[in-house]
Amino acid sequence: MSTKVAFIGLGIMGYPMAENLLKAGYDVTAYNRSPEKAQALASSGGRAAASVAEAVREAEVIITMVPDSPDVEEVLTGEDGILGNAAQGALWVDTSTIRPDVTMSLAEQAREQGLRPVDAPVSGGEQGAIDAALSIMVGGSEEDFEAARPVLEAVGRTIVHVGPSGSGQTVKAANQLIVAGNIGMLAEALVFLEAHHVDTDAALKVLGGGLAGSKVLDQKGQKMLDRSFDPGFRLELHHKDMGIVTAAAREAGVVAPLAALVAQLVGSTVRQGNGHLDHSGLFTIVEQLSGRSGDSSDTTGGGR
Ligand code: NAP
């Protein structure tokens, strides 16, 4: 009989992950706050639950994929939540990106209730979720990691145990710092190139082949040139993640000056009402700071 999986949160990432679990032969019961998405998954062979409690009651593995720390807290400890309704010994795999300290505390509560908690935040974006090619940084005991591995292999390709509960989230925070910094530098480079009237398609091609090349450049460069910022990964979620990075750095007694600067730029883009854009939309604030908003031609007399 196939393993029973409960999946909570069928958003941009959760839906394709749940679909990949179905494709891998898991018996998936899904709950989503807005019920339509769970019903859509039911038409692909899953089952729709009307509540978290109903989804998790018979599950051997429970996966959560919701936006932020309070959302995970609510799904876990709420009246109708996982703690009060899951079977003893069930694995709880949280793939959301949340604060490491919250993860540590929730993992402790889960253990006290007889659950086996694993934090397993992911990287690779929507396309990585669709392709079951996510990179997954896992925190928890060695034994629980091994128990969770088959399920994670159905949604990801690079799956690494990085330490005890909370460690996965700490590594994910570092991931988000690197990605935001890369996006910020790429945006500055493209605004700079446009101001010099350089052929930006040619520039992207050659930059991509050298040391400046990166997955960020490959995936986000053309989006910036096209001003095409449909999410993907929403800026407001990256704003949340930059808050996690800066707080965790402070807590550890280290400074992260570039993180602080990029966090301010991300925060400003969100405050301008652009939190719904893909994180490549950080380009808009870099453009604005140079007085070149919304126009790829040189309107300022800048350049040479
Ligand atoms: P999303 O598209 O906004 O989806 C969030 C899902 O959580 C939705 O199904 C939403 O339900 C549900 N939800 C929100 N609050 C809830 C609550 N309090 N209780 C129950 N369900 C709730 O977000 P996403 O892009 O999939 O991101 C999910 C997580 O993955 C975040 O932590 C994010 O940082 C991380 N992540 C995202 C990406 C990416 O590229 N998008 C990549 C790596 C990691 P409704 O449908 O009712 O709104």
pLDDT in tens, 219-251: 999 999 999 999 999 999 999 999 999 999 999
Q: Does the beta carbon of 126 sit less than 6 angstroms from any atom of ligand 1?
A: yes
What distance in angstroms lies between residue 68's CA and the mean position of ligand 1's atoms?
8
- Report the C-alpha gap between 279 and 282 in whole angstroms: 6
Q: Does the beta carbon of 33 sit less than 6 angstroms from any atom of ligand 1?
A: yes
What distance in angstroms lies between residue 160's CA and the mean position of ligand 1's atoms?
22
Name the residue with the closest Cα to ligand 1, atom 39.
233
Catalytic residue among 4, 23, 37, 172: 172
pLDDT at 300: 39
23 is catalytic: no
Name the residue with the closest Cα to ligand 1, atom 1.
11
Q: Does the beta carbon of 72 sit less than 6 angstroms from any atom of ligand 1?
A: no
User: Considering the entire predicted model, what is its pTM?
Assistant: 0.95
pLDDT at 301: 36
Tell me the best of 237, 240, 245 to mutate to test the pocket of ligand 1, counting ligand atoms within 8 Å of each CB and taking the most.
237
Dig out the tokens for 248 from the structure: 């965790």
What distance in angstroms lies between residue 8's CA and the mean position of ligand 1's atoms?
10
Paired residues of 156 in beta bridges: 134
What distance in angstroms lies between residue 303's CA and the mean position of ligand 1's atoms?
41
Short-list 234, 227, 216, CA closest to 270: 234
Q: Does the beta carbon of 17 sit less than 6 angstroms from any atom of ligand 1?
A: no
Q: Does the beta carbon of 125 sit less than 6 angstroms from any atom of ligand 1?
A: yes
pLDDT at 293: 83
- Report the C-alpha gap between 99 and 173 in whole angstroms: 8
Dig out the tokens for 206 from the structure: 């050659």
Backbone angles phi, psi at 47, to 5 degrees: -125, 145
Q: Does the beta carbon of 12 sit less than 6 angstroms from any atom of ligand 1?
A: yes
Q: Does the beta carbon of 64 sit less than 6 angstroms from any atom of ligand 1?
A: no
What distance in angstroms lies between residue 234's CA and the mean position of ligand 1's atoms?
10
Which atom number of ligand 1 is nearest to the Cα of residue 37? 46
Cβ-based burial of 57 (10 A; exposed 0-12, middle 13-18, buried ≥19): middle
- Report the C-alpha gap between 186 and 217 in whole angstroms: 7
Answer for the pair 30, 8: CB distance below 8 angstroms, yes or no.
yes
Residue recorded with tokens 């070149």: 292
| pLDDT tens across the length of the chain (304 residues) | 799 999 999 999 999 999 999 999 999 999 999 999 999 999 999 999 999 999 999 999 999 999 999 999 999 999 999 999 999 999 999 999 999 999 999 999 999 999 999 999 999 999 999 999 999 999 999 999 999 999 999 999 999 999 999 999 999 999 999 999 999 999 999 999 999 999 999 999 999 999 999 999 999 999 999 999 999 999 999 999 999 999 999 999 999 999 999 999 999 999 999 999 999 999 999 999 999 986 554 433 333 3
